[in-house]
Structure 1
Amino acid sequence: MKVRGVNYNVEIYNGNQGKERLILLHGFTGSTKSWMHVLDHFSQFELILIDLIGHGQTESPKDVLRYSMEEVVNDIKEMMDMLEISHTNMLGYSMGGRVALSFTVRFPQYINKLVLESSSPGLNNEEDRIQRIEADTKLAKDIMSSDDLSHFVRRWEDIPLFKSQKRLPDSVQSRIRYQRLRNSPRGLANSLMGMGTGVQPSLWHELKRVKTPVLLLSGELDRKFCEIAKQMMQQLENSSKKEIIDVGHAIHVEQPQIFGKIVNEFLLRN
């Protein structure tokens, strides 16, 4: 799908007139393939899976500015207009959650319910923002300095955020690694530079304006994002929070059944 000059990969499942829709947005280094093992849990919804800019089969433009949060939100709005979607639920994981929240703040009238898995509204503290931008810039340079992504992916798998994934079966870890390796080095580097946590506009001050029902999910072992979810819930007027026992950052990967059950209960509740 050509969206504002960029070729996007958009996949639709369970297409059926009358079904509620659910848009799923993956995390950094992910793609539509990141959701394949949980799709069966959402059979009551028409599912729209998007490879975000620089990821999966979506194009990876040279211009870093094209990856800004504002641009990505505009892309999703344009996609929805092209697909004639006026209302939808939205689920975002990590980076995809930041995109989903940014979209909801900008276009609240389009979102029925919002699910944020291990996500944040960005950084409020200027010093933290500067440090994160510096770290992401270095990481982007490291990604671009190699001919392929294998060295970066090995390092990425070993960061503390994903420690609990080492307990997953080898077949699952191999599947995730294969998906990550299929990304474009330029796409990943530009994503960090364009819509990384440091560079994106902080949304903390916008949370009180969000009236959309929001479910905040975090893994018990991911203490940083459990605390962020707790702080977000204090600001979000219409929100609930679930902390899933004995999992880390990627709940949908580590406990897909529990993840599917909790998300379904929230989305199907009147």
Structure 2
Amino acid sequence: MPRGRPRARRHHRRPAPPRGARVIVALHGFTGVPASWDAVRAQSEARWSCPRILGHGAEAEGVESFDDEVDRLAMTMPDGATLVGYSLGARLALGIAVRHPARVGRLVLIGGHPGLEDDAEAATRRADDEARARALETEGLEPFVNRWEALPLFGTQRRLPEAVQAAHRARRLSHDPHQLARSLRVLGLGAMPSHWLALPGLPMPVDLLVGGEDPKFRALAERFVAVRPGTTLHVVPGAGHDLTLEAPGAVASALAPSSPSRVPCPR
């Protein structure tokens, strides 16, 4: 499938934010759920919207490309929202900022990747994600999650309390393996268009959050800042890739200030 293949955009009625409220739209990562943001939300006074993404329980009929999902999510957002995403959610959030800048008043990316620039590298990544998708379909969810959790990217999570790790694993195991396979095929890094050239033109304030023990994504964030001067980089010491899990207080602090409201995200 071509990366970022454009399709006719569907029209949705955009929600209007409550008068005077600061709205945060939060996009979870791969194998995540809206409740993945709960530890951050508990330290925030903003009004939150935490939509599900393709392959994770979203109503996403007709979505066939990365940009299709970007457009679908953008059409559910009020204009001028603070948009935050983690990992896969950060890649989608960046896509929204590039394609629908009026929707985004502020962009906050946690462990984000602006996309692969080399077509051969993207093709290799698509092949890798296809192999993962087939493993999900043939072996089921638990063996896949076992391998996923063993990736070095998530090694710092093994220092977390057992109860936190168990709850995180339960969220991962709550998904349909066939839908996760669809997510890998449509939203994988190799299926995403590269946005490096679009970074200097982003009109909204941009913050990047990375863990001090996540060297790959710290290097990507430092390059992002070099390409787009004025971007704010937050490096969280002692944390790895998933700051929503490992350092929710740091994420909440980066998202402040916010307006009072206690609207729960759907599970």
State the TM-score, normalizing by the size of structure 1.
0.86
Q: Partner residue of 1:12?
A: none
Q: Partner residue of 1:116?
A: 109
- Paired residues of 1:212 and 1:238 also in contact (CA < 8 A): no
Residue 60 (structure 1) shift = 6.8
| Runs of 4+ off more than 3 Å | none
Q: Partner residue of 1:96?
A: 89
Q: How do 1:58-207 and structure 2 match up within 5 A? A: 58-59=58-59, 66-80=63-77, 85-146=78-139, 148-207=140-199
Residue 239 (structure 1) shift = 0.8
Secondary structure at the counterpart of residue 113 of structure 2? coil
Secondary structure at the counterpart of residue 103 of structure 1? helix
Secondary structure at the counterpart of residue 213 of structure 2? coil
Residue 16 (structure 1) shift = 4.8
CA distance in 2, matches of 1:163, 1:223: 13
Return the match for 1:257 from 235, 249, 263: 249
Query: Which structure 1 residue ranges, 5 or more long, are not aligned?
Result: 6-14
Secondary structure at the counterpart of residue 50 of structure 2? strand
After superposing the two structures, state which structure 1 stretch, 171-180 or 15-24, moved more.
15-24
Return the structure number with greater strand share. Answer: 1
- Paired residues of 2:24 and 2:81 also in contact (CA < 8 A): yes
Q: Partner residue of 1:213?
A: 205
Return the match for 1:227 from 214, 219, 225: 219
CA distance in 2, matches of 1:155, 1:247: 21
Q: Partner residue of 2:14?
A: none
- Paired residues of 1:87 and 1:110 also in contact (CA < 8 A): yes
CA distance in 1, matches of 2:104, 2:165: 33
Q: Which has the higher contact order (CA 8 A, sep 6+)?
A: 2
Q: How many residues align?
A: 247
- Paired residues of 1:25 and 1:50 also in contact (CA < 8 A): yes
CA distance in 2, matches of 1:28, 1:187: 11
Secondary structure at the counterpart of residue 91 of structure 1? strand
After superposing the two structures, state which structure 1 stretch, 127-136 or 222-231, moved more.
127-136
Residue 258 (structure 1) shift = 2.2
Q: Partner residue of 2:32?
A: 30
Q: Partner residue of 2:20?
A: 18
- Paired residues of 1:52 and 1:58 also in contact (CA < 8 A): yes
CA distance in 2, matches of 1:180, 1:67: 23
- Paired residues of 1:218 and 1:229 also in contact (CA < 8 A): yes
Q: Partner residue of 2:51?
A: 50
After superposing the two structures, state which structure 1 stretch, 173-182 or 251-260, moved more.
251-260
Q: Partner residue of 1:9?
A: none
- Paired residues of 1:67 and 1:195 also in contact (CA < 8 A): no
Secondary structure at the counterpart of residue 221 of structure 1? coil
Distance of aligned partners of 1:17 and 1:72 in 2 relative to their CA distance in 1, 3 Å threshold: same
